[in-house]
Amino acid sequence: MKIIESPREAMQGLELIIPTEKKISYIQNLLDSGFDILEAGSIVSPRLIPQMADSLSVLEKLDVSKTSTRIMMLVVNKKGAEILESYDKVTYLSYPFSVSQHFQQLNLNATHDQSLSTIDFIQNTCAKTGKESVIYFSMAFGNDFGDKWSPDLLCEWAETMYNMGVRTIPLSNVSIEIDAEKISQVFSLLIPEFPGIEFGLHLHTAGKNWKQKVEAAYAAGCRRFDTVLGGLGGCPLSGSELMGNLNTLNLIAWMDEKEIQHRLVSGKPNLWALTG
């Protein structure tokens, strides 16, 4: 099981701007806690997402000398990937691709063709630097914009990404509630169809029935889960009220109950205390 913790998701949905030094302290504690991957920030417009304006300043101050946790940063265009090219601390470059053209335009002001061009640039950047790409599929379980959606369409996009060299695709619902049956349907199709791709669940949830949703993904073969301490966050550009994310503590409690191994070990910083 891989747990990908995202303080970026938590912070970008807040109205207040957290001081840079507090961000550094908080994220450093997360780095020292044993997560597989930590999404530390993003290279985005400070006008649209002011909470992330200091992401590079935070990144530069993080001490990665004593942690095995790898850092991921989100980019939304070629410039962002180019900026992060020289940052050895960053292992993963993530990019939010939407199955819904409407949401891709709303979220990134980009068409599918423009997004594919950006992903190609990210792939080339990763090839040069030894980094890896993580291409999120938002609106992976349907959408409320009336855009075409089907399991076959997901397969078509997954095949396109695979042919471009993408090997990690987390699936997100962004702003619509989904049920365990839909999660099971999607992962049961994609995981056997594309054994060379690691699919993950980036679950936005209002807190209802999270356990059934996690169990459905796990039963279908998903072993990668994105989480946020306290369940905070969401996409501020979705045009909908933020639904929050899968709470890290809920997932850990469920894994411990099921005796599923993970890398978060005793003796590390108290995650329960960090939620305060």
CB atoms within 10 A of CB 259: 6
pLDDT at 120 over 90: yes
Residue 101 vs residues 132, 145, 155, 187: alpha-carbon distances, Å: 25, 9, 16, 22
End-to-end CA distance of the chain: 26
pLDDT over 90 at 13, yes or no: no
Q: What is the mean pLDDT of the chain?
A: 91
190 closest CA partner among 214, 171, 211: 171
pLDDT tens digit sequence for 25-39: 999 999 999 999 999
Instruction: Output the pLDDT for position 239.
Output: 44
Q: State residue 208's pLDDT score.
A: 73
Confidence of residue 196 (pLDDT cuts 50, 70, 90): very high
Percent of all residues in the chain with a pLDDT value above 70, rounded to a whole number: 91
The CATH superfamily assigned to 2-274 is: Aldolase class I (3.20.20.70)
Confidence at residue 241, expressed as pLDDT on a 0 to 100 scale: 46
pLDDT of residue 258: 95
Q: Which two tokens stand for residue 76?
A: 């939304």
- How sure is the predictor about 263, in pLDDT bands with cuts at 50, 70 and 90? confident
Neighbours of 153 (CB within 10 A): 13
